Structures are given as structure tokens and as C-alpha cells.
Structure 1
Amino acid sequence: MTDVRPSQRMRDLGVVQQGAAILTEAARAFDLPAELDEAEHVVDELFAAMDRIGQVHPFAKGMGLAAPQIGISRAAAVVRPPGDAPSIILLNPRMTDGCDKTDEHYEGCLSFFDVRGLVPRPVKITVETATRTGETVTTE
């Protein structure tokens, strides 16, 4: 019997893996509200993928997934925080600012599932996202 690599398990669940070109390309932003139906479809696909992944591999600290990770080159991501906190939907996300102070934690990525590493992250960032109606929202 051959052991299946964890990355192959993720691939089998529909998660694009390391080396795929889509992970290095800029995702196409949504023209909202004109493309609202398409944005909602992509978000539904992200939630469905997260449900599949969660059945095989529980993530006690939460999980995030971006559309390119499931083969859709659109600017959308979903974050499921741990516990009962509501999911966060990000349409056309763009980091606009980050502080110099960082914090490091060991992290993994669903698309680089065989790799874990110590990742420095700014302790504070500013992100712009779009609402369903196309308005820009800034979150710190």
C-alpha cells in the first residue's frame, strides 16, 4: 500500500497545489455590482471547498481559502475564524498598509500542504475590500 502525500489529499479535494501557474498570477477583480452573481457563485464554491476540506482535515485555529486555490482566477477569499465567529468574505481584497512590527507563528497553506514554516506577519494591516454593491470598505 502506498501512502498518499498530504498535498495529494488536498488536490483530491480540489485545492490547487504548489507549482500551478494560477497561484502566481494576479486574480481578476470583480466589477461590482455588475458581476454580483459571479461573485456570489465564487463565494459559494469557496464555502463548498472549505466544507469538503473540513470533513477530512479539521482546522482548530480557523481556515482561509482564496479563489485561485480552487482554480478560479478571481479576487475573492473566505476566512473561517475558530469557534463560532462568523465567516469573513473578502471581495477584491487589497492590502494598502502594514506596520513594520511583525509577529511570527508557524503556519501552513492549503496549496503548499506539505510545507510548514515560521511566517512573519505585520501585527497591523489595512485592507480594502468591495461590498456587494461595489463600495469600498477599509478595515484595519
Structure 2
Amino acid sequence: ALIRAALASGTPLLGICRGLQLLNVALGGTLTQHIDGHAATPGVFGRHPVKPVPGTVYGDLVPEETSVPTYHHQAVDRLGEGLLPSAYAPDGTIEAAELPGPHWVVGVQWHPEMDEDLRVMRALVTAAVRA
């Protein structure tokens, strides 16, 4: 309900980890229930590279491949209505997706709040100031 309300009101939205998964499901997508290699030791963030899709919001923010803090075992399977993939892991897992349109809606499978790279977090703040 909260995701649908944010989308309806045009509130900038950043889905982090499960937040990307919930955004995807809210838009009719599905999840892969278990993947390997995206979580290290239980309770500890691992890292792996993600490759941005050029021409997307995320790809414009972070045009180069980067290493991100990650801890998940579920992932997007079929994308929800209107969502576009904007970054992938080396194994093909969708690591970021976004909803094109007039409002800023991005979901990332990793934890940008646990990283020194603040570009995604700054973009959310900038979108919120403009909204």
C-alpha cells in the first residue's frame, strides 16, 4: 500500500534490497526465491560488481561498473509492469530497476546506505527537493 501511495502521489521512491523486490511485486512482477553468491557469511555484507545499463537513471548516475555491498538471497525474476532493468550482476541477476516517467522511482538490490559511494542516495535527496 505504501509503494502504491508513493507512486500515485509522485513521491520520489528508492527501494533498497527487499524494497526493490516489493516494488517489483507491487507492479505485478515475480521473484526468484533463492539465488547463491549474493550473500556472504550470515549477517555480514558481501560485495560484488554491478554493471549499469546505459541510458537509464541509474546508468546516468553511475556509468561505470562498481562493487556494491550486498546481502540477499532472493531476486527479481519477471519484472513488474513498466519496470526497466538498470543494472545487472555478473550472473545476470537484475540488481537495479526503475520506472520511467516523470517521477524518480529506482530500486537497487544492494545497500547504498552501507557504502562510501553516495551517488544513489544523493540522487534521491535531489529528487525529493525537486518534488
Using structure 2 for the length normalisation, give the TM-score.
Answer: 0.26
Structure having the larger proportion of residues in strand:
1
Q: Larger RCO: Structure 1 or Structure 2 (Cα < 8 Å, ≥ 6 residues apart)?
A: 2
Using structure 1 for the length normalisation, give the TM-score.
Answer: 0.25
